Amino acid sequence: MKIQILNMRQTRLLTALAALLLMPLALKATEVASPNGNVVLKFQIDNDGRPTYELSYKGKPVVLPSHLGLELARDKHASMKDDERDLLDGFKLVDEQTTEQDETWKPVWGETSTIRNHYREYAATIEQQWKTAHHPDRPGVKGMYYEDHSRTIILRFRVYDDGMGLRYEFPQQKDLNYFLIEEERTEFRMAGDHMAWWLPGDYDTQEQETQQTRLSQIRTTMEQAVNWGNSSVAVFSPTGVQTALQMKTDDGLYINLHEAACADYATMHLELVDAETKAFTTQLRGHTNAYTPNPKPARARLPQPFTFVSHLTPDATGLKGAMQTPCHTPWRTVIVSDDARDMLASNLILNLNEPCALDDVSWIHPTKYCGVWWEMIVGRGSWHYTNDYPSIKLDQIDWAKVKPNGYHKANNENVMRYIDFAAKNGLDQVLVEGWNVGWEDWANMWKRDVFDFVTPYPDFDIKALNDYAHAKGVKLLMHHETSSSTQNYERHMEQAFTLMNKYGYDAVKTGYVGDIIPRGDHHYSQSMNNHYLYVVKQAAKHHIMVNAHEATRPTGLCRTYPNLVGNESARGTEYEAFGGSRPDHTCILPFTRLQGGPMDYTPGIFVTKLSEWSQNPSWARITIAGSLALYLTMYSPLQMAADLPENYEKFDDAFQFIRDVACDWDESIYLEAEPADYITVARKAKGTDNWFIGGKCDEQGHTAVVKLDFLDKGRKYECTIYQDAPDAHYDTNPQAYVITKKVVKAGQTLRLKEAPGGGFAISLMAK
C-alpha cells in the first residue's frame, strides 16, 4: 500500500479529485450471445456501482436485471482487515474480455461417450477503490494522511446455447487476501410468477417430496413441505428453496437454477423475495441442537419480488465461508430452453467443472449391484447384532461374547445368498450394510466414536465372504456409515481404505445420517463440502469409488473426480419403506437432483406392497414396468437391483431386463419430457450397437410415441418390450406387465401405453 503524507490543502484537493475518480464510467451494457444466438447475456455496472446482469432466451426474459455481490463478515483479528467493506457496490468496470471456446471431451463414464463444451466467455474485471484517513501521532507530521485501497474481482460468465454459468473470481491482492463471507448475494430475478418444482431450503436434509407451486405459493406451502421427520433438519426461511430448482414460465420456457463445481465452498440455497418479504431472514427451525443464528441486518438491499437470492449454508458460528485469494466461487448456473428435453440433455454443469484430475482412471467402472439393505430398511432384519445393551462403546465390548439378536442380516449365510444371486444374474457387486460393529446405537446421540469401519460383527467373515464372492466373479461393496461424525471417519479412513484394498473392495457407500459432529456444523457447509471431497480424493489414492449418501447435492464434480460415482442427496427408494413417495417423484428428479450428477436411487422394487413380505405397511407407488424404466430415466453409472432376490425370482422374466440393461452409454437421446409428468429416453450401451429405451410417467399415465429413427439404418434389432398390462396401476395392479418380443428396424414407431405410476423398458439388441 502506498502511503501519502499530505497537508490540509492537498487533502481537500485530493478529496475533490477522488470524488471525480470514483464516479462510475459511462453506464454502457455489454451483450454476449451464445454460439447460436439463442441465449443473450447483458452486463453492466449500475449507478451505485453494483454489477448487474440479465439473461434472455430467444428474446424472452429469463433473468431480469439482477445484482451480483457478497456481504463480508467483519473479523476482529487485526490480520483480517481486508474485509472492512462488502463486495456489493462501489465498483467500476476496468477490463472486459470476450472469448469463445469449442472443445470436446470424453467422460470416464456417462450418458454419452463425448461431450461438447461450446460457449462464449465474458470476463468483467471490476474494481472498488477507497481511501482511509489516518491521523498520525508522529512528531513533525501535520494533518492527516491517506491510504489508497483498491480491490479487484473478476465476474466470469460462460454463455451456452442452453444457458449460462457465472462465478466470482478473487485474485490475490493486497486488499483482498483473507476474507469471511457473511452471505453471497447473487440475484436471479424471475420475469413472472413461474411454476416451480422445489424443495424446502434446509441446511441438513434434501430428502423431501418435491412441491409443485407457483413462486407466489412457496411461502404458504413451506410448512407442510418440510420433512420434519428427517434425522437432521434445519430450515432457515419460509421462502428458502434448494437447487437444482426447476421452473416453467407461462410462455413455455423451462428454467433451471443450480450450481457447478462447488468445492471448498458452502452449498447454495435460494431465498425467494416475494411480496411479503420485509428483509432477508434466517429463522432456523428444525430439531438440530446445532447453531442458533443471531439475525443480523443484511447490508444488501432487498431486490424486487420474484427474485431469488443466494443463501449459503453456514458453519457453527453462522459464517458462510472463509476464503483465501486467489480463489473463486462455484459457478451459478441457469439452464434454459423452450424444450423440456434440453433440460435433461444439458451438459452445462459438467462442462463448467474442471477436467479430470486423476491420472489413472482404469480402475473406475460403472457397476450394477444388489445388496443386503432393503430387508433392513423395510424392517425385517437389523443392521445391529445385539439388543443387549442400551448403548455401545466400541472399545468396551467383547463381540465374541455378545448375544446375537437373531435377525442381524449381514451374516455369512445371508450375504452368500446375495453373492450367489449376483453371480447368477451378472450383477457386479453386493453391498452389505451392517457388517461392522457399532450399529447398536449410532445416530443422533452426539456419539463421536461411533464406528471404527474395520471391525466386522462375529457373524460376518470378511475374508471368507470376499474370497467366496471373488471366486464367483463378484465383488463386495463396502459400506461406511459415518452417522455424520466426520472427525471420527477422518481418523479411521486410512485404515478403513487399507482394509478395503486388502480384501478387494473397490467401492464404498458412505452415509451421513443425523446431525454433524463437530456439533453445530451443517451437512452442506464449506467445511462439510471440503470433507466430502477429501474423502473422494483419499479414496482415489486407494483406487476406491465413492457413493456418498446424505452428502451435499452434487454439482458436477464427478467430471473432475470420476471415482465419485454416485450420491444420494435426495429422497431415494428408502422412502418407499417410510411411507412412500408420490408416483411423479421419479419424473421430477432428473430435472432437479440429477442435474449435478448421478443419484444412487436404488431402483428396482418389484414387490411394491411391502406387507406382502414384512410388517411394513408402506408401499411403492410404481408398477414393475415403471421400476424397470428407472434404469434408463434415472441415469447413473451405479445401478442397484434393490429388491430381495426372492422377490426377483418371482418375476424372473421381468428381471431379465435388469440383467440385460447397461449402465454406461455411448449415446443418450431424450425423446419426451415434461417435469413431473413423463420422461422417455433412448440410450446406446457403451461399446455396443444395442439400445435401451425407458419411459416413466406420473399418476396420470402416458402414452409414449417412440420413433426409432436413431437406430442404424438397415439394421435389425431384437426388441423386447416390458410394459404395463392394460389394467396395470401403481396401486391396484402394480405387478401386471406384458413382455413382447419382436424384430424392429430404424424408422419404425412404437406406441407404448404407460399405466398410472407406470412405464416401460425396451431392449434392442443389434442382430
Query: Cα–Cα distance between 215 and 193 in angstroms, integer?
Result: 5
> To 10 degrees, the CA torsion angle through 484, 489, 490, 494?
-150
> To 10 degrees, the CA torsion angle through 716, 722, 724, 730?
-140
The strand pair at 234-235 and 285-286 is best described as antiparallel
- Does residue number 446 form part of the binding site for a second copy (CB under 8 A)? yes
Question: Closest distance between a second copy and the C-beta of residue 485, in Å?
Answer: 11
Question: Closest distance between a second copy and the C-beta of residue 266, in Å?
Answer: 12
- Does residue number 77 form part of the binding site for a second copy (CB under 8 A)? yes
Residue 392 or 500: the one with the smaller Cβ distance to a second copy is: 392
Question: Closest distance between a second copy and the C-beta of residue 521, in Å?
Answer: 7
Alpha carbon distances (Å) from 414 to 142, 280, 767: 87, 53, 39
Residue of 447, 559, 571, 683 that binds a second copy (CB under 8 A): 447
3-class DSSP state for residue 450?
Answer: coil
Residue of 9, 28, 140, 294 that binds a second copy (CB under 8 A): 294
- Does residue number 753 form part of the binding site for a second copy (CB under 8 A)? no
Residue of 322, 361, 671, 766 that binds a second copy (CB under 8 A): 322
Question: Closest distance between a second copy and the C-beta of residue 730, in Å?
Answer: 32
- Does residue number 487 form part of the binding site for a second copy (CB under 8 A)? yes
Site residues for a second copy, 302-321, by CB under 8 A, read 315-317, 319
Look up residue 504 and give its three cell numbers: 478387494
Residue 319 or 685: the one with the smaller Cβ distance to a second copy is: 319
- Residue 531 backbone zone (phi > 0: left; psi -120 to 50: alpha; other: beta): alpha
The strand pair at 39-45 and 163-170 is best described as unpaired
Do residues 619 and 371 touch, judged by C-beta distance below 8 A?
no
Residue of 491, 659, 686, 745 that binds a second copy (CB under 8 A): 491
- Pairs from 413-418 (Cβ < 8 Å, separation ≥ 24): 414/372, 414/381, 415/372, 415/460, 415/465, 415/476, 416/465, 416/468, 417/645, 418/370, 418/371, 418/372, 418/645
Look up residue 65 and give its three cell numbers: 436485471
Count of CB atoms within 10 A of residue 45's CB? Answer: 22
**Element containing residue 17 per DSSP (H, E):** helix 8-22
The strand pair at 545-548 and 507-511 is best described as parallel
Look up residue 166 and give its three cell numbers: 457465472
Tell the burial category of 748 from Cβ atoms under 10 Å away from its Cβ (0-12, 13-18, 19+).
middle
Residue of 31, 121, 452, 490 that binds a second copy (CB under 8 A): 490
Question: Closest distance between a second copy and the C-beta of residue 651, in Å?
Answer: 38
Binding track over 516-555 against a second copy, x by CB under 8 A: --xxxx-----x--x---x---------------------
Question: Closest distance between a second copy and the C-beta of residue 178, in Å?
Answer: 4
Question: Closest distance between a second copy and the C-beta of residue 286, in Å?
Answer: 8
Residue 448 or 609: the one with the smaller Cβ distance to a second copy is: 448
Query: Cα–Cα distance between 604 and 595 in angstroms, integer?
Result: 22
Residue of 206, 325, 616, 720 that binds a second copy (CB under 8 A): 325
Site residues for a second copy, 374-403, by CB under 8 A, read 389-391, 393
Size of the site for a second copy (CB under 8 A): 49
Question: Closest distance between a second copy and the C-beta of residue 263, in Å?
Answer: 13
Q: Is 100 a catalytic residue?
A: no
Residue 106 or 541: the one with the smaller Cβ distance to a second copy is: 541
Binding track over 37-76 against a second copy, x by CB under 8 A: ------------------------------------x-xx
Residue of 180, 191, 462, 474 that binds a second copy (CB under 8 A): 180
Query: Cα–Cα distance between 645 and 640 in angstroms, integer?
Result: 12
Do residues 252 and 202 touch, judged by C-beta distance below 8 A?
no
- Does residue number 444 form part of the binding site for a second copy (CB under 8 A)? yes
Residue 391 or 615: the one with the smaller Cβ distance to a second copy is: 391
Count of CB atoms within 10 A of residue 184's CB? Answer: 24
Query: Cα–Cα distance between 36 and 207 in angstroms, integer?
Result: 38
Cis peptide before 404 (omega within 30 of 0): no
**Element containing residue 509 per DSSP (H, E):** strand 507-511
Residue of 290, 334, 658, 681 that binds a second copy (CB under 8 A): 290
Site residues for a second copy, 108-147, by CB under 8 A, read none
3-class DSSP state for residue 21?
Answer: helix
What amino acid occupies position 684?
Answer: K
Binding track over 400-439 against a second copy, x by CB under 8 A: ----------------------------------------
DSSP letter at 216 equals: G
Indicate which residue of 182, 574, 672, 699 is catalytic.
Answer: 574
- Does residue number 228 form part of the binding site for a second copy (CB under 8 A)? no
Question: Closest distance between a second copy and the C-beta of residue 573, in Å?
Answer: 24
- Does residue number 765 form part of the binding site for a second copy (CB under 8 A)? no
- Does residue number 357 form part of the binding site for a second copy (CB under 8 A)? no
Residue 292 or 615: the one with the smaller Cβ distance to a second copy is: 292
Residue of 79, 104, 362, 615 that binds a second copy (CB under 8 A): 79
**Residues at the site binding a second copy, with contacts judged by CB under 8 A:** 73, 75-77, 79-80, 172-174, 177-178, 180, 287-292, 294, 315-317, 319, 322, 324-325, 389-391, 393, 441, 443-448, 487, 490-491, 494, 515, 518-521, 527, 530, 534
Catalytic residues, which ones? 574
